[in-house]
Structure 1
């Protein structure tokens, strides 16, 4: 499936709480295919957001994340990542939990595992 063809525009969809997310996390989908398996979203974490209670995240889809503003700390790795950092996570890759003292805004792409991988 393909995402819709759109020229430059100001995304105007609602800010929503992702299912199962920690308090303080909101996202706005800016593009998605018909079944939602290929998505692009802006994700915002409020200052002080902490995903420790959710533990390490693992999912069955690809996820690419580019930090647009702010930063977050990976509590497992003990490293802090700031504006301009990028992550590419294949299905099954453990990551997090995270804490963001100052808040963070990120561009997130998700898409399914290819049938041959």
Structure 2
């Protein structure tokens, strides 16, 4: 099985900011990823006004752990706002999103499979 690369501390801006093609204002910086999988460590960046409704509700087969670094997102299904300093742990199959980020948001995310 392929593994993520070994990295020592780096400025997160070292990693390319890649915009999503289907959601205006949403980008990611992939820190490490197992090739060919959704297993990744990344930073999501929502510009002010970003709306992920085009992606709909998300459900996936991997674990996802998140920390809101700054800003906030509003979960449109739950009608609840999540703010900086909050964390989430989503098991495979959990429904979440879509979101709006009226003032922008930055999130650290780790995705993985667990046996």
Q: TM-score range by the shorter chain?
A: 0.7 to 0.9
- Aligned match of 1:17: 19
How far apart, in 2, do the equivalents of 1:10 and 1:43 lie?
A: 15
**Gaps spanning 5+ residues in structure 1: where?**
none
Post-superposition Cα deviations, 1:52-105, rounded to whole Å, max 9, x if no partner, equal 232211111111111000001111111101001111111111001111100000
In the aligned structure 2, how far is the partner of 1:16 from the partner of 1:26?
5
CA–CA separation in structure 1 for the residues paired with 2:61 and 2:87: 19
The alignment's C-alpha RMSD in Å is 1.7
Aligned equivalents of 1:35, 1:53: Cα separation in 2: 24
TM-score (norm 2): 0.86
Shift of residue 37 of structure 1?
A: 4.4
Structure 1 runs of 4+ off > 6 angstroms? Answer: none
Count of aligned pairs between the two proteins:
113
